[in-house]
Amino acid sequence: MDFDTAMKFLETAKALGRAKGVEVSVAILDAAGHPVLVARGKKDAWHGPYMAMGKARLAAAFRKPTAELLKQWQDRPLYPTSLASVIPGGVTLNPGGYPIFDKGELVGAIGIGGSSPESDDETARKTVESLGALAR
């Protein structure tokens, strides 16, 4: 994940959020969960970038959308809770994170924060989908 590619994802996500009347926080991480680009949404939401990074990191680690992971783990609540201390940099156990693929290879992930979990998930999915980076 290079800066220019990350910027395309960030700008797309910000535009989708604005279209819904939401100033979203956006985090674009590489495949190893390291930040490439992070932008805060609401001026007073200092926690937004951290939430977005945690969602992206979880999506990158498991190569799946965070909403899907949470459903997968609903009968094993201790497992996702343990990830908060196991995965370096921390994770956010909320919908709104999506892996980013290029020709079938994981290249990074996006995390969205600033709205409801459902809205964050939709913004992340639509961003990845519109840029042709969903898993195949």
Give the pLDDT confidence score for residue 84 in this predicted structure. 84
Among 77, 57, 78, smallest CA distance to 66 is for 57
Q: Contacts by 129-134 with C-beta closer than 8 Å and gap 24+?
A: 130/12, 130/16, 131/8, 131/9, 131/12, 133/9, 133/100, 133/101, 133/102, 133/107, 134/98, 134/101
Can you give the residue ranges of every domain in the chain? 3-130
pLDDT tens by residue, 110-136: 999 999 999 999 999 999 999 999 987
**Could you tell me the fold of the domain covering 3-130?**
Beta-Lactamase (3.30.450)
pLDDT of residue 136: 72
The 10s digit of each residue's pLDDT in 2-52 is 999 999 999 999 999 999 999 999 999 999 999 999 999 999 999 999 999
CA distance linking residue 70 with residue 79, whole number of Å? 10
